[in-house]
Amino acid sequence: MSEAAETAGFLHQWKGAGFKRFIGPLLRPLGLLALCIVLSFLNENFFTLKNIISVLRQSTILVVVAVGMTVVILTAGIDLSVGGVMALVGCLTSQLIINGTPIVPAIACGLALGTLFGLLNGVLVRIFGLPPFVATYGMMWIANGLAMILMQGKIIFGLPDNFLWLGSGYLSIIPIPVILAAVVAVAFHFYLKKTVSGQEIYALGANREAARYSGIKITKTLLLVYSLSGFTAAIAGIIMTARLDAAQEGMGEPFMLQAIAAAVMGGSSLMGGEGGIPGTIIGALILTLVVNGLNLMGAPSMVHPLVTGAVILTAVFFDVVTRKWSD
Amino acid sequence: MKNKVQLRVVSIPPVIWIVLALFVLYSFFAPGFFSAGNLWNIGVQAAPLLVLAIGATIVILTEGIDLSCGIVLGFAGVGFALLAQRGFPIWLAMLGGILLAGVCGLVNGVMVACLHLPPFIATLGMASVITGAGLVSTEGMSIAVRDDVLEFVSNGAPLGIKMPILIALLIFGVVLFLMRFTAFGRNIYALGGNSEALRLSGANLTAAQIATYTVAGLLAGIAGIIVASRTASGHITAGLGWDFDAIAATIIGGTSFEEGKGGVAYTILGVILIAVLRNGLNVAGVPNMYQFALIGTVVLGAIIFDILVRRLSGAEESR
């Protein structure tokens, strides 16, 4: 190929990918920054260290669920059961602790249950061939139903202090849940970017047929992916219970849509193969700040679903539009 | 052609077997299940679900999904109750509620057909928006309505058949007719089966898709009015979880998410299964809180059973 043709080809590629490669990734941090500036006008204490830490702490639960959701979305799947799993795991763990189980085994049981639910999602999706949103939607109702049975309509509170530490403790000035969320996020980021298994998830999402021909074990990968989402939902459920010092059926409900919104706002495409953890964290922070801002303006909490819905529709719309542009 | 007929015959039995199994089970554990009064009761309970599930079916036939229909059902009830509360004539308020639901469906359709959002996320986002709107407009309260018409709509029996059943069967007939004999129905099947051919034949894909979601919204609205009449009130969560039942009824009835297979006629079987299941649990005295998990499990089990049977029969056919 002549040099001129090579340059022309390069330029052509550049034109198409330019938006995606340079402006696209910058858009989200800039959006986050703009939101922060708007909020600092609404509340003069916004840019204090104390408030920033408090915002980070508020976002932790969402970050953890959204990280697992991102992995599922990368495979062009979806996990609608996370809210139900969060509630069920929170209820089970606190129920065990109240009934005298030591904290560590209780948490281990919770994590195992969450992972099991994720695994079942994977089995329904991959082995039985149900569309992901049907399988996980069904599992959501089962998880919610089991939480109801477990709680018998009651609320559990008054959990021991060393369990509550997970949700409200501090390591010098950094809240423990922030550390937990950071560990989960970093671990998942490295897993996705630096391990073969993680790269296989991207490959599978981008083109399932090609992935199959290149020898990726699709069944194993999908089971793993849904199990991971169940696992992170379980962690989020435990952090939530520890932070509220309460467990109740239905408490995870808003997080299902928020987690999808965070992932999509962060640039993960619902068509799979695109996106990642850093974007999702920015998405989760934006969503937390929006809710934070609404509270600052004195809007009732009943408005939250309306705003979350509008945000997710807009985010998905932009995802669709930008993908059309760059094609 | 013969193959197709065979396939249809093969695809019906699973549901019927499960319903029969439930009947046998309930005859042991739920005394009173087989009384005439209770069987009528099942019909009345199934009626709004049938209306809702017909909407879910036509959407699924286009390879779409409507996860908002349960909330739209409650939203129609809220709209109706708020209008009635403000002194509108009761029939007009009912119409208002149904039209409100139709608008929700229209918006869903526009998001899917024009903006190309994936259906499940468009309708899920819509459900969230409507939940917020419904909560804000009612402050989370149940809005009570008092009128004799409600008693008629929920309990009247003009032809010896209770009104909800009559309405549901009427709608079932109308939609069945639309699906078999009009361009509306042909377009829906083509959207799922072969949208490319439909486009080449000059039909307007976008309009057909929007029409489908709008009709699904209107049907959710009608179901919402039936429910609101029975409870004499409007509440945004009145249909919470009904979307799952409606989708489950569709899948159990044999409508598949791919290639526009199945149809409205089969959905009635799925609706009967779910209605029988719920009613039997009530009659047997199973507390409400146990029912969610149980029904979720049975429904997923039925879907899996159905898929397995289909796979087996499919394997036989290809042999």
Of residues B125, B290, B307, nearest to A309 (C-beta): B125
Question: Does the distance separating the beta carbons of B307 and A138 come in below 8 Å?
Answer: no
Q: Does B1 score more than 50 pLDDT?
A: no
SS3 A153: coil
Helices within B194-287 (DSSP H only): 195-200, 205-231, 242-252, 264-283
Find the angle CA(B281)-CA(B283)-CA(B286) to the nearest 5 degrees.
45
Q: Is residue A319 a part of any domain in this protein?
A: no
The residue of chain B nearest to residue A300, with distances taken between CA atoms, is: B136
Q: Does B203 score more than 80 pLDDT?
A: no
Average of per-residue pLDDT across B54-76 = 93
Q: Which residues of chain A have pLDDT under 50?
A: 1, 11, 14
Q: Give the gap in angstroms from C-alpha B32 to the nearest C-alpha of chain A.
A: 26
Check: pTM over 0.90? Answer yes or no.
Answer: no
Measure the CA–CA gap between A218 and B300, rounded to whole angstroms: 23
Q: Is residue A206 a part of any domain in this protein?
A: yes
Place of tokens 């996370």: A82
Size of chain B, expressed as the number of residues it contains = 319
DSSP string, A201-266: HHHHHH-HHHHHHTT--HHHHHHHHHHHHHHHHHHHHHHHHHHHTEE-TTTTHHHHHHHHHHHHHT
Q: Does B288 score more than 80 pLDDT?
A: no
Q: Most B CBs within 10 Å: which of A317, A323, A325, as the mutation test of the B interface?
A: A317
Q: Given this model, what pLDDT does residue B211 score?
A: 94
Reported confidence tier of residue B99, pLDDT bands at 50, 70, 90:
very high
Q: Given this model, what pLDDT does residue A109 score?
A: 96
Could you give the C-alpha distances from A7 to A1, A10, A13, A72, in angstroms and in order?
10, 5, 10, 38
Q: Which residues of A touch B135 (CB under 8 A)?
A: 302, 305
Q: Is residue A306 a part of any domain in this protein?
A: no
Question: Does the distance separating the beta carbons of A134 and B128 come in below 8 Å?
Answer: no
Residue-averaged pLDDT of chain B: 84
Question: Does the distance separating the beta carbons of B241 and A141 come in below 8 Å?
Answer: yes
B178, with CB counted inside 10 A (0-12, 13-18, 19+), is middle
Question: Does the distance separating the beta carbons of A316 and B292 come in below 8 Å?
Answer: no
Residues of A with CB under 8 A from a CB of B: 78, 80, 124, 128-131, 133-135, 137-139, 141-142, 144-146, 148-149, 152-153, 257, 260, 264, 270, 300, 302-310, 312-313, 316-317, 320
Q: Given this model, what pLDDT does residue A298 score?
A: 79
Element (H, E) at B113: helix B90-113
Question: Does the distance separating the beta carbons of A316 and B117 come in below 8 Å?
Answer: yes
Q: Which residues of B touch A313 (CB under 8 A)?
A: 111, 117, 121-122, 125-126, 129
The residue of chain B nearest to residue A84, with distances taken between CA atoms, is: B293
Measure the CA–CA gap between A226 and A70, rounded to whole angstroms: 11
Could you give the C-alpha distances from B84 to A268, B77, B139, B150, B154, in angstroms and in order?
45, 10, 17, 11, 17
Find the angle CA(B255)-CA(B261)-CA(B266) to the nearest 5 degrees.
40
Per cent of chain B over pLDDT 90 is: 37
Q: Is residue A30 a part of any domain in this protein?
A: no
In degrees rounded to 5, what are phi and psi of residue A156?
-95, 130
Quick check: A71 and A275 in contact, CB under 8 A? no
Q: Does B91 score more than 60 pLDDT?
A: yes
Question: Does the distance separating the beta carbons of B120 and A78 come in below 8 Å?
Answer: yes
Quick check: B97 and B77 in contact, CB under 8 A? yes
Q: Is residue A242 a part of any domain in this protein?
A: yes
Distance of CA A145 to the CA centre of its chain: 23
Q: Is residue A66 a part of any domain in this protein?
A: yes
Quick check: A307 and A240 in contact, CB under 8 A? no
Q: Given this model, what pLDDT does residue A1 score?
A: 42
Q: Given this model, what pLDDT does residue A12 score?
A: 52
The residue of chain B nearest to residue A253, with distances taken between CA atoms, is: B128
Q: Most A CBs within 10 Å: which of B256, B298, B300, as the mutation test of the A interface?
A: B300
Q: Given this model, what pLDDT does residue B300 score?
A: 80
Helix A196-206 to helix A49-74 angle (10° resolution) is 70
Q: Which residues of B touch A78 (CB under 8 A)?
A: 120
Per cent of chain B over pLDDT 70 is: 89
Q: Is residue A33 a part of any domain in this protein?
A: no
Q: Most B CBs within 10 Å: which of A124, A151, A248, A312, as the mutation test of the B interface?
A: A312
Is pLDDT larger for residue B125 or for residue B315? B125
> For residue A121, what are the domain limits?
51-253
Q: What is the pLDDT of residues B240-281, one digit of tens each?
A: 888 888 988 888 787 877 666 778 888 888 898 888 888 888
Of residues A148, A260, A303, nearest to B292 (C-beta): A148
Q: Which residues of B touch A148 (CB under 8 A)?
A: 289-290, 292-293
Q: Most B CBs within 10 Å: which of A78, A88, A149, A327, as the mutation test of the B interface?
A: A149
- Domain tally for chain A? 1
Q: Give the gap in angstroms from C-alpha A252 to the nearest C-alpha of chain B.
A: 15
Of residues A133, A141, A308, nearest to B128 (C-beta): A308
The residue of chain B nearest to residue A255, with distances taken between CA atoms, is: B128
Question: Does the distance separating the beta carbons of A133 and B296 come in below 8 Å?
Answer: no
Could you give the C-alpha distances from B309 to A12, A81, B7, B55, B252, in angstroms and in order?
52, 26, 12, 26, 12
Q: What is the pLDDT of residues B207-251, one digit of tens each?
A: 989 999 999 999 999 999 999 999 999 999 888 888 888 988 888
Measure the CA–CA gap between A319 and B117, rounded to whole angstroms: 9
**Chain A contact for B301 (CB, 8 A cutoff):** no
Of residues A138, A264, A306, nearest to B296 (C-beta): A138
Quick check: B209 and B203 in contact, CB under 8 A? no
Q: Is residue A205 a part of any domain in this protein?
A: yes
Q: Which residues of A touch B255 (CB under 8 A)?
A: none
Helices within chain A (DSSP H only): 3-18, 24-42, 49-74, 82-98, 103-122, 132-151, 161-168, 176-194, 196-206, 208-213, 218-244, 253-265, 277-296, 304-326
How many CB pairs below 8 Å do chains A and B form together? 127
Choose among A188, A134, A144: nearest CA to B256: A134
Question: Does the distance separating the beta carbons of B132 and A305 come in below 8 Å?
Answer: yes
Q: Which residues of A touch B125 (CB under 8 A)?
A: 257, 309-310, 312-313, 316
Q: Given this model, what pLDDT does residue B319 score?
A: 39
The residue of chain A nearest to residue B125, with distances taken between CA atoms, is: A309
Q: Which residues of A81-91 are buried (b: 16+ CB within 10 A; e: fewer)?
A: bbbbbbbbbbb
**Chain A contact for B129 (CB, 8 A cutoff):** yes
Q: Given this model, what pLDDT does residue B314 score?
A: 64
Measure the CA–CA gap between B295 and B133, rounded to whole angstroms: 29
Residue B134 in tokens: 């419904």
Of residues A141, A303, A317, nearest to B244 (C-beta): A141
Q: Give the gap in angstroms from C-alpha A136 to the nearest C-alpha of chain B.
A: 10
Q: What domains appear along chain B, each with residue ranges and CATH number?
A: 43-306 (1.10.3470)
Question: Does the distance separating the beta carbons of A144 and B131 come in below 8 Å?
Answer: no
